[in-house]
Structure 1
Amino acid sequence: MSQPLSNIDKNEFNHVKQAYYNIYAFVKSYYEDNNSYKACIDKWGEQLHIPDNALEERENIDFKKPSDKLYALEEIYDIVYMIYLDGVVEDVELSLTIKFAEKLGFEKHVVGDLLKAIVTAPYDGIPKEEVRNELTTYLKQILEE
């Protein structure tokens, strides 16, 4: 069951939007000719109700690999959360997000792990805020491996 965009708070929306801009810049930098990735980015922009003037502004944004691993993982989380919002997880969305995660220095299983945590949280009675807070613990486990 997806969570409507109207149910996320402004802070959460801003996190997701910032991650969206960075993955957009990632596609623009590395996958300019991949029409399925470009269509995925366009779908996400529509899903986030990004206004046309902001779509023009995104053209001037360059991809930035976060130097902080926690911030990088939060960006991946935000993209995975955005995938989950419409209740339809497409292969192209996962493929793009895996490539993004790998570029940020994570193994591809991180995307699946985050998706599983997000999808199962409501059924396990875990508030979405707690899922985000568990990123710190998750990152420490990854860095210790």
Structure 2
Amino acid sequence: MSRQQTLDLIRRYYAAFNAGDGQGMLDCLAEHVAHDINQGGRHDGKDAFRAFLGHMARCYRERLDDVVVMASEDGARAAAEFVVHGEYLATDEGLPEAHGQKYILPAGAFFDVVDGRIARVSVYYNLADWTAQVSA
């Protein structure tokens, strides 16, 4: 896969995210995608990712702005930096109580791309910053 094809794939993934198109996101993923959740564990496979999307839709409403995507020359790896604009809708287990708090949070993600699909996505953000924003 070329660098440009990888850039297009990651941009398509984030366009689907911002459109609330979970199936569009899933279409960008390899069947056995590895999903590293910020300060959490790794989930494997599209079914686990689908469940994660359902959980996120229940607890959060988010939009990503200022998305910048980078890719290696061979297209095998990519990264993205963005700003999350969110609303905390329902209490997520182990986190502060939700009551519609809004937050703005810089974040990033790293990707492995295999055979034209995302084979790994690892998302990172400052959980302490998010917690402070929703606890204020």
TM-score (norm 1): 0.26
Q: Which structure dedicates a bigger proportion of its chain to helix?
A: 1
TM-score (norm 2): 0.27
